[in-house]
Structure 1
Amino acid sequence: MIRDFALGLRLAIGGGRISGQALLRLAMTTFGIALAVAVLLPAASFGNLMGQREDRKAASHEVESALPGITPLLVMHSGMEFHGQYINTRVLAPTGSTAPVPPGLSRIPAAGELVVSPAVQEILDSPVGAALRARFPGTVVGTISKAGVKDPGDLTLFAGARPDELPTDKRVSKVYSFGEPSREFEAGATKLLFLAPASVMLLLPLLVFVTTASRMGAAQRDRRLAALRLIGLDGRQVRRVAAGESLVGAVAGLLVGVGLFLVLRSQIGKLDLFGLRVYGEDFVPAWPWVALIVVLIPTLAIGAALFGLRRTVVDPLGVVRIGKAPRRRMWWRWTILALGGLLMITIMFAEKRSASTLTLVAVTAGSALSLIGVATLLPWAVERLVRGIRGGSPSWQLAIRRLQLDSGTASRVVSGLVVVLAGAVLIQALVASLGASDSSKTGLSTLGTASVQVSTGQGMAEDAVQRIKAAPGITAVQTLNSAYARTATGSAGTPVQIGDCAALALRAKLPSCADGAAFYVDPDPQDGYGAELTAPTGVLRLSDSHQDGKSAEGTQWTVPDSLQHIPAANAVQYTSGLLLLTPGALAGIQLSAASPTFYVSGQGTPDEVSDRAGAAVRPLGWQTSVITIGMQAFQADTDRTASQIRSALLFVSVFVLSIAALSLLLLSVEQITERRRPLAALSASGVPVSVLAKGSLWQTAIPVGVGVVLAVATGIGVTTPILRLAGLPYTFDVGAIAILIGAAVLAVVAVTAATLPLLRSVTRLDGLRAE
């Protein structure tokens, strides 16, 4: 047995009349398997990648439990939004020499010093860096190390201050240490909806590609096996030789793939993948997955070689292939598809927005089985389609006759492309529906000019207003005070915003307004949390929103009978269950401790207004935060995020489509090489090369066309129950789906064009010479 495997290894490296041919076949097989390994290893690293990120996040957790011998570090979180990006700002003030140092810092910055993450430093070094630097009340003295940021794109800033510069309210916490036990990464409901079909659409084409690459040079190998039979090897020995020959390419592909993975890992940290940045050194595949890949790749390669011999009789005098394919066993194909369909049908009867474990398992298994089922059904569909076709042009008849004799091989390769298309239809529909859902929840699209929200302490309110009004391009400053209304027992509460009619109009479209009016924004029926809210009635207690949420302390206030209800669709996002009160509705109640928020309107874009307001309040320090609230800015940020996701998905889909197209190319090369003598005979009989090329085109295009129809139908069928479960609108990104279908058609044309030189070569008359 060992001698048979060793003989196969020798033939793989130096077999054939010309050693260069064997090396070329080995190189193509190695490249194909290496490419698959280079993709599978990063996929196997996903758990460690997210685990390292969660570890760094847990290490930065603030612990407020007192420790002996430790003086607390005062920490205040201050919001800063810059051009659609939120910068996590923490102001640090040590109360003694033993105050803890946050991860990523070598020391606590002194008052007036700033330490920024590498991503913030990149913004500062960019053309818009001057506008951001104008909003920093301090000087940048260093950057945060990897231990203090979740990923390379993390926007974090630490600012130093003196303890007397920070307020004494609950915005400031006393931190005695940093760190908590790390939590394992858990994929939520939304992530699973993406990960389940994405994993299938990535892995299945790769596995098909591995088996196709392992079959390179099968015709030449069969002739070598016939020669081995001539010198005395039996059928079992021949199969062991074939397995050993395939093992060489698989092992070489594994080694090259690992090397390619290491090279890519060292460079991936420098890339911005559609807004997602990661540390390359965090790509460490889990050993169980590595072991599975090491075992799976050679097993697939050997299995593909032996599977290719199942209908081949290798005799001492030549190779005979069974011309008529046996009848396909359909029960297991229909079983896979039926199980997937049954699970998706049960989802239709599940409660909307249900996140139970059983529902998530049904979604994951149903989508995966449906995608696999349509891939296994494709060969049967192509076979049934071409069975009854007769007539047509010569090129059409050549293609149909070839598919009638053997449609399974081409269909199996095309099945990877079908899975990509079906999975892409599903994921693109989810992204489009999520984007449409976000857009529908933005409420009013125009509430005056571009606006930003400025929050500050009560003692600085008047100074902040005067500074903002004096800034160029500012047209209006409206003030809203935040409060909270609770029942007498403190068991329930409602957020409150207090301001004049002009200020309240920035939060919702008011039916009519005068001093003394009160409004309540009705819960959004599409919002799972908002559906639990009810309008307040009777006697409540008004208090500062920064007080303890369970406290019943506060000034007694009665909800007026004239309370007007505003539909959620007529309010800006995240205002469900909000009370909007004019000063007259308070009946003389003064809430001096309420936190004021200013809504600043001005000329230009929301980013420009935000830069002006931020620069104006810079002298007030970190107790003032500026956040963009303009609907156009929110919509732009939503559109940008959706565009990044669509671009990433489109890139991944096109990449996997390229893998499927490469599988088609390998198959076409293999078939042309295997049939070079019949093709040469046809050419010698007067059949033009163009007819043969068109026949090759139709032979690939027919399975692809059937696959596209099945893929789109399956993608829509799987998407519909998932969208209903998630409570999302039915929206399909027709443009993205059309691009993917166009890419599939283009792949067929490109494969045919790439095989033309080989086709011209094998149809020369010297191809008829006997070997």
Structure 2
Amino acid sequence: MNVSQWSRDLAMGVRFAFGGGREGWFRATLTAVGVGLGVALLLLTTALPSALAVRHQRDVARADYTYVFGHPLKAGEKTFVIADIDTPYRGADIRGRMIQREGAKAPVPPGLTKYPAPGEMAVSPALKRLLGSPDGALLRARLPYRITATIAEPGLTGSQELAYYAGSADLAAHIDPPNVARIDHFGSPRSPDAESDPVLTLLVLVVFVVLLMPVAVFVAAAVRFGGERRDRRLAALRLVGSDGRMVRRIAAGEAMAGALLGLVFGVGFFLVGRQLAGTAEVFGISVFPSYLNPSPALAALVAVAVPAAAVLVTLFTLRGVVIEPLGVVRTAKPARRRLWWRLLLPVAGLAALYPMVGQGRGGGDFNEYLVTGGVLLLLVGVTALLPWVVETVVGRLGRGAVAWQLAVRRLQLSSGTAARMVNGIAVAVAGAIALQMVFAGVQADYTKQTTNDLNRAQMSVQVPDGVPVPEVARAMTDTKGVRKVVAIADDQVGDLKKDPSQTAELSVGSCASLREVATLPSCHDGDAFVVKGSDTESETTKLLTTVAKHGRTLYLNPTYTGDDQGSTSRWTVPAGLKQATTRVDPTGYKRGGFLLTPGALPDGAGRSVQGVVYLSIDSAVRDTHEYVVNTAARINPLMHAVMLTSFERDGQFDSIRTGLFVGAAAVLALIGASLLVGQLEQLRERKKLLSALVAFGTRRRTLSLSVLWQTAIPVGLGLLLAGVVGLALGTVLLRMVGSTVRVDWPGVLAMTGFGAAVVLAVTVLTLPPLLRLMRPDGLRTE
């Protein structure tokens, strides 16, 4: 290979691209836009690891759960007390902290310059905007603090995060780890790395491959924009003495010029997108623009790979084109595409994945190279098989309406171009279907069914120590949207006032509330019950035996060694203690020990017990949850009101799903933009043909329908092939993780529908320029 000759020919192609007048610049710009969109997404992808790492570092740096169990700190120069008062608001999570400075050297929270005073708070910019908007009216009632500062970027994980720090003067009196704790620094202590879950690692790997593969397909398609006009220009070079190899190298140089310009466009798109990312939130995830810094090594790889791909793709596509001095011959009857080597790609992909089938979670880590290679080969197989499928099917399509015949004939003459336009959609849908199957197949392993009975209660309120449970119950009864209130105060009784040897549970509530946790024979205020049938029945029996021997006195809320708090009360066990049978409460918990009505509780003991209030709410009332949380915050800011759910899902699993949705949204946007550019390029190539048909009397409606059929036929075939390959890949991945193979048909249809919707939207957007092109004056030339 003559390097100097290659360099001269490539340089000549670059000059042709930028020195060919308006036509050359238009084609170079068209290619650059298509390549630039792909480059921007590639740069965004290379920046994701950095963004996730910075988010994690910021979250670790502000962590406030640094106390050590069993070794409580004493107030000192560096200590402060902090309480977790997170709160949800209309589906969004708000990170809240109440804080009290104890020592002059106590560290300031990241993002702040000083501690907020009691009655004041520092808020994130996003929360400040929400509180100042009409949508934040209910939230303002919940946060009755004066805003005196804004949390800076070092104290936040994202630009749209909702967070605040509220000052307090008496928080030290309510220390109750882990919700309220005394600590002396921010930041999580180092802990040994947890063992990674092989299935989650596999999902992350496949997600990255599936999201990046369509981008590579789009970049490869973009460098081929304007191919037909380019080939006609190359014929003129043959006329002045260039040989076939030389014109191919010149064509590669022209494509490389567009790719280089695309790199510039891509950097510009990326910088604009990075700034826009600072104002957006997708599936609860937001970042600051400074987080999105591409890895230098990966960015350099993109800068080298994109122009190199442009050259290789151009040379590969021109291998079957005969460029003669008087024109371009793509052979009057194109040779039929061969199927055998196209089938080798997906077969090789299945062969790479097959050794890991049945390995499951207990088989150790999956081989990342085999997984990446196998998934890539299967998805590349879609791009190789689709041209053969389109050519084979359209070659057998017969007569029909005029619009149908025009579309079919066009597809028969250029089936490769049609398939190339749809390849990206097919690859994206195939990967999405496979991932949807895997997520649906393994989500049961990462979803835990709770014991909550949502027919009995939909919310619960944890009442902290010192807050009378009846007071909370009355306030909740008066709250808008609350239909039923069940209030239970829980405590402990022992045989001794301090360091008891025998203890039992004690629950206090009205007769109606006690019937939610036990089956009672009869009940009046002043009654007391001993519970039978619970797991702690034997402990209660021992305590009663001890009481019978040493008097009938027990102690509520006994203290233990090292506990300098508590207000112990004496309780005399009544002689006629009734028996009750335990019953699961709305959260599935079975109480034991003793049940007391308020009249049986000793004087002064009501404020020493903690409790829980179960609420049945009216779902027809809008914002009932917000009203309940506001009532709880008004009584005591440390009170937590939560929605009861029927299941809980693993946080890592949810994070991966969220990452997939965020990436899929970006890829779908790229799909739409690239398809739109490609469609406009195709219409521009056929400008004179469309004008000629209109001049001969063809109706515009007929031509519009023909363009629609030209898109619909390959899209339908591409989605069908994507469904087959996606189901095959999903089946293999499920077998690899050891899960039962189940086809999530609603998910498969949804993914296919999303792909079809994107194509339909692009087709609609191309109709206005199509109508402008369908004019007889388009035949004029100079």
TM-score (norm 2): 0.74
Matches within 5 A, 1:177-576: 177-180=185-188, 195-196=204-205, 198-326=207-335, 328=337, 330-341=339-350, 349=358, 351=360, 356-358=364-366, 369-392=377-400, 396=404, 399-400=407-408, 403-404=411-412, 406-426=414-434, 444-448=453-457, 451-457=459-465, 459-461=466-468, 464-465=471-472, 468=475, 471=478, 476-481=485-490, 503=513, 516=530, 572=587
Which residue type is aligned with residue 319 of structure 1?
V
Which residue of structure 1 aligns with residue 31 of structure 2? 29
For residues 129 and 693 of structure 1, the distance between their equivalents in structure 2, rounded to whole angstroms, comes to 49
Q: Secondary structure at the match of 1:157?
A: strand
Pick closer, same or farther for the CA change 1:162–1:710 going to 2, 3 Å: same
2:383 touches 2:427 (CA, 8 Å); kept in 1?
A: yes
Q: Give per-residue Cα distances to partners, 1:98-117, cap 9 Å, x unaligned.
A: 11222112112233332223
State yes or no: 1:115 paired with 2:122: yes
Which residue of structure 2 aligns with residue 597 of structure 1? 612
Which residue type is aligned with residue 725 of structure 2?
T
Pick closer, same or farther for the CA change 1:456–1:69 going to 2, 3 Å: closer
For residues 130 and 700 of structure 1, the distance between their equivalents in structure 2, rounded to whole angstroms, comes to 49
For residues 163 and 613 of structure 1, the distance between their equivalents in structure 2, rounded to whole angstroms, comes to 22
For residues 699 and 387 of structure 1, the distance between their equivalents in structure 2, rounded to whole angstroms, comes to 14
Displacement of 1:327:
5.5
Which residue of structure 1 aligns with residue 160 of structure 2? 153
Which residue type is aligned with residue 56 of structure 1?
R
For residues 67 and 539 of structure 1, the distance between their equivalents in structure 2, rounded to whole angstroms, comes to 35
Which residue type is aligned with residue 627 of structure 2?
D
Unaligned runs of 5+ in 1: 485-494, 521-534, 549-560
For residues 497 and 662 of structure 1, the distance between their equivalents in structure 2, rounded to whole angstroms, comes to 69
Which residue type is aligned with residue 7 of structure 1?
M
Which residue type is aligned with residue 239 of structure 2?
L
Which residue of structure 2 aligns with residue 530 of structure 1? none
For residues 477 and 696 of structure 2, the distance between their equivalents in structure 1, rounded to whole angstroms, comes to 90
Which residue of structure 2 aligns with residue 54 of structure 1? 56
Displacement of 1:57:
1.0
Which residue of structure 2 aligns with residue 705 of structure 1? 716
Which residue of structure 2 aligns with residue 669 of structure 1? 683
Pick closer, same or farther for the CA change 1:609–1:699 going to 2, 3 Å: closer
State yes or no: 1:88 paired with 2:95: yes
2:463 touches 2:640 (CA, 8 Å); kept in 1?
A: yes
Which residue of structure 1 aligns with residue 18 of structure 2? 13
Q: Secondary structure at the match of 1:177?
A: coil
Which residue type is aligned with residue 384 of structure 2?
T
For residues 705 and 624 of structure 2, the distance between their equivalents in structure 1, rounded to whole angstroms, comes to 59
Which residue type is aligned with residue 32 of structure 1?
G
State yes or no: 1:141 paired with 2:148: yes
For residues 470 and 565 of structure 1, the distance between their equivalents in structure 2, rounded to whole angstroms, comes to 24
For residues 558 and 229 of structure 2, the distance between their equivalents in structure 1, rounded to whole angstroms, comes to 79
Displacement of 1:317:
3.6
Q: Secondary structure at the match of 1:99?
A: coil
Q: Secondary structure at the match of 1:74?
A: strand
Q: Give per-residue Cα distances to partners, 1:30-66, cap 9 Å, x unaligned.
A: 2222222222222221111111101111211344488
Which residue of structure 2 aligns with residue 527 of structure 1? none
Which residue of structure 1 aligns with residue 498 of structure 2? none
State yes or no: 1:611 paired with 2:627: yes
For residues 656 and 249 of structure 2, the distance between their equivalents in structure 1, rounded to whole angstroms, comes to 52
State yes or no: 1:73 paired with 2:93: no
Greater Cα shift, 185-194 or 55-64: 185-194
Q: Give per-residue Cα distances to partners, 1:366-405, cap 9 Å, x unaligned.
A: 6555433333322222233344455555655555455455
2:36 touches 2:262 (CA, 8 Å); kept in 1?
A: yes
Displacement of 1:287:
1.1
Displacement of 1:76:
2.9
2:87 touches 2:94 (CA, 8 Å); kept in 1?
A: yes
Displacement of 1:292:
1.7
Q: Secondary structure at the match of 2:468?
A: helix
Which residue type is aligned with residue 381 of structure 1?
V
For residues 683 and 761 of structure 1, the distance between their equivalents in structure 2, rounded to whole angstroms, comes to 6
Greater Cα shift, 21-30 or 471-480: 471-480
Q: Percent identity at matched positions? A: 30
Q: Secondary structure at the match of 2:611?
A: strand
Which residue of structure 2 aligns with residue 552 of structure 1? none
Displacement of 1:294:
0.8
Root-mean-square deviation (Å)? 5.2
State yes or no: 1:4 paired with 2:20: no
Pick closer, same or farther for the CA change 1:234–1:731 going to 2, 3 Å: closer
Pick closer, same or farther for the CA change 1:606–1:430 going to 2, 3 Å: farther
Pick closer, same or farther for the CA change 1:337–1:217 going to 2, 3 Å: closer
Pick closer, same or farther for the CA change 1:153–1:194 going to 2, 3 Å: farther
1:212 touches 1:666 (CA, 8 Å); kept in 2?
A: no
1:94 touches 1:163 (CA, 8 Å); kept in 2?
A: no
2:450 touches 2:645 (CA, 8 Å); kept in 1?
A: no
Q: Secondary structure at the match of 2:287?
A: coil
1:74 touches 1:163 (CA, 8 Å); kept in 2?
A: no
2:36 touches 2:265 (CA, 8 Å); kept in 1?
A: yes
Displacement of 1:757:
4.6
Displacement of 1:147:
1.1
Displacement of 1:215:
2.2
Displacement of 1:453:
0.8
Which residue type is aligned with residue 129 of structure 2?
E
Number of residues of Structure 1 aligned to a counterpart in Structure 2: 707
Pick closer, same or farther for the CA change 1:599–1:761 going to 2, 3 Å: same
Q: Secondary structure at the match of 2:111?
A: coil
Pick closer, same or farther for the CA change 1:36–1:230 going to 2, 3 Å: same
Displacement of 1:238:
2.3
Displacement of 1:24:
1.8
For residues 431 and 159 of structure 1, the distance between their equivalents in structure 2, rounded to whole angstroms, comes to 40
Which residue type is aligned with residue 461 of structure 1?
P
For residues 369 and 547 of structure 1, the distance between their equivalents in structure 2, rounded to whole angstroms, comes to 66
Q: Give per-residue Cα distances to partners, 1:472-508, cap 9 Å, x unaligned.
A: 5565351253889xxxxxxxxxx9995668557879x
